[in-house]
Amino acid sequence: MSEIEASSTASATPRSAAVRVGGSARAHSVVVEPRIDDDAAHVPSAAFFDVDNTLMHGASAYWLARALAKYGVLSARHILNFAWKQARFKFQGGERHGEISSVKSSALELVAGFPVDEMRTLCEEVVDRDISPRILAPVRRLAERHLESDQEVWLVTASPVELAEVIAARLGLTGALGTIAEIEEGCYTGRLVGDLMHGPAKADGIAQLAAERGLDLEQCTAYSDSANDLPMLRKVGRAIAVNPDARLARQARHHGWPVLDYRRGRRAAKLALPTAAAAGVGAGLFYLYKSRDRD
């Protein structure tokens, strides 16, 4: 498999990027990236990157689900049920346990009984074919700069850990935290180990990782596009918003966090509306399923 290379169509050019700090915006002919403190290398530290709409354009799980549909793992009922619940959850923007559990149950139902080895192979194909061109080159450079400063770099995502680990490996990062599905006799059981790597679970996940690896969270940095990740952003010494949604942008202004925006014009507003993406998942997967059914 080839290493990930960000395409010119997916990544922002220097002229298209704006950097905002404390709520003000200034356009630059070159990307002004946040300073990475080399002194932090003397203290064990890390950078934590969200994946969807932070490291890459769009949702990583969408591409995995599309591949599962193509290979006949998903049914139309599964696709539409999951997409509808995901859209409702994103639209409401809440952290209610019932809604989260509903989305979780639907997602797990999709892969119950599926062999782990086949999933890992599929994840490699999806990363190399679909996710690779959607990596944001400026954000990848930020990750590389942390590595060059002898800091660890971890992906933290609600997507399956198998998918996150492949992305991290292709980029040469330290590792990944993701949602872990239970495995028995080489197949998924339809149950989780722990909970979704989402919201407060991300903060708990990096705290546990820091304890295990001797990292000083006050010397760590976290990057995200979503207000759902505020618990993780508040857990570290330095938070940076990347392509933020409206609520995260407000929080960034309030706290004086740097804001990196690699979107363009109306595209920026469009990407800030997660419901459109969630609905698109259902429509796209349903089309794929029906097309496969006709073949």
Q: Which of 235, 221, 262 is nearest to 36 (CA)?
A: 221
Pick the catalytic residue: 38, 50, 117, 295? 50
Task: Determine whether 37 is an active site residue.
Answer: no
Pick the catalytic residue: 52, 195, 229, 261? 52
Task: Determine whether 293 is an active site residue.
Answer: no
Residue positions annotated with a catalytic role: 50, 52
